[in-house]
Amino acid sequence: MWTNTQDKALQARAQRVMPGGMYGHESTRLLPADFPQFFQRAQGTRLWDVDGNEYIDYMCAFGPNLLGYGHEAVEAAARAQAQRGDTMTGPSDAMVRLAELFVDTVSHADWAMFCKNGTDATAMALVCARAHRQRRKVLLAQGAYHGAAPWCMPQAAGSTPEDRAHIIPFRYNDLDSLAAAVELAGDDLAGIFATPFRHEAFSDQYLPGADYARAVRRVCDERDALLVVDDVRAGFRMARDCSWSALGVQPDLSTWGKCIANGHPISAMLGSEKARDAAKSIYVTGSFWFSAVPMEAAIATLQLVRDTDYLERIMHTGQLLRDGLQAQAASHGFALRQTGPVQMPQIFFEDDADMRVGYAWTAAAVRRGVYLHPYHNMFINAALTPEDVARTLERTDDAFAELRHSRAALPPQNDPRVMERLRRAALATEPA
**Touching a copy of itself, residues 41-80 (CB under 8 A):** 41-43, 47, 49-50, 57, 59-65, 69-70, 75, 78-79
- Cα atoms in the 13 Å half-sphere on the side-chain side of 414: 3
Residues in 357-416 at the binding interface with a copy of itself, rule: CB under 8 A: 371
> What end-to-end distance do the CA atoms of the chain give, in Å?
45
Is 2 near a copy of itself (CB under 8 A)?
A: no
User: For residues 226 and 247, which CB has a smaller minimum distance to a copy of itself in the complex?
Assistant: 226
Classify residue 206 by its DSSP letter: B
Classify residue 69 by its DSSP letter: B
Q: What SS3 class is residue 55? A: strand
- Helices 386-406 and 356-367: crossing angle in degrees, nearest 10, is 130
User: For residues 96 and 179, which CB has a smaller minimum distance to a copy of itself in the complex?
Assistant: 96
Is 227 near a copy of itself (CB under 8 A)?
A: no
Query: Which listed residue (67, 126, 178, 181) binds a copy of itself by CB under 8 A?
Result: 126
| Least distance between a copy of itself and beta carbon 81 (Å) | 10
User: For residues 33 and 409, which CB has a smaller minimum distance to a copy of itself in the complex?
Assistant: 33
Pairing status of strand 46-49 against strand 54-57: antiparallel
Give the contact letters, 129-158, x = binds to a copy of itself (CB under 8 A), - = no.
Answer: xxx----x-----------xxxx-xxx-xx
> In the β-sheet with 267-271, what is the strand arrangement from edge to edge?
111-115, 267-271, 253-256, 226-230, 189-194, 137-141, 167-170
Residues in 262-281 at the binding interface with a copy of itself, rule: CB under 8 A: 263-265, 267, 271, 276-281
Name which of 131, 126, 123, 116 is nearest 149 in CA terms.
123
User: For residues 212 and 368, which CB has a smaller minimum distance to a copy of itself in the complex?
Assistant: 368
Residues in 77-116 at the binding interface with a copy of itself, rule: CB under 8 A: 78-79, 82-93, 95-96, 99-100, 102-103, 110-113, 116
Name which of 366, 263, 373 is nearest 3 in CA terms.
366
Residues in 246-265 at the binding interface with a copy of itself, rule: CB under 8 A: 257-258, 263-265
Residues in 283-342 at the binding interface with a copy of itself, rule: CB under 8 A: 283-291, 294
Is 23 near a copy of itself (CB under 8 A)?
A: yes
| Least distance between a copy of itself and beta carbon 178 (Å) | 22
Which are the contacts of 162, defined by CB distance < 8 A and separation ≥ 6? none
Give the whole-angstrom CA distance, residue 301 versus residue 132.
31
Residue type, 405: H
Query: Which listed residue (56, 106, 128, 329) binds a copy of itself by CB under 8 A?
Result: 128
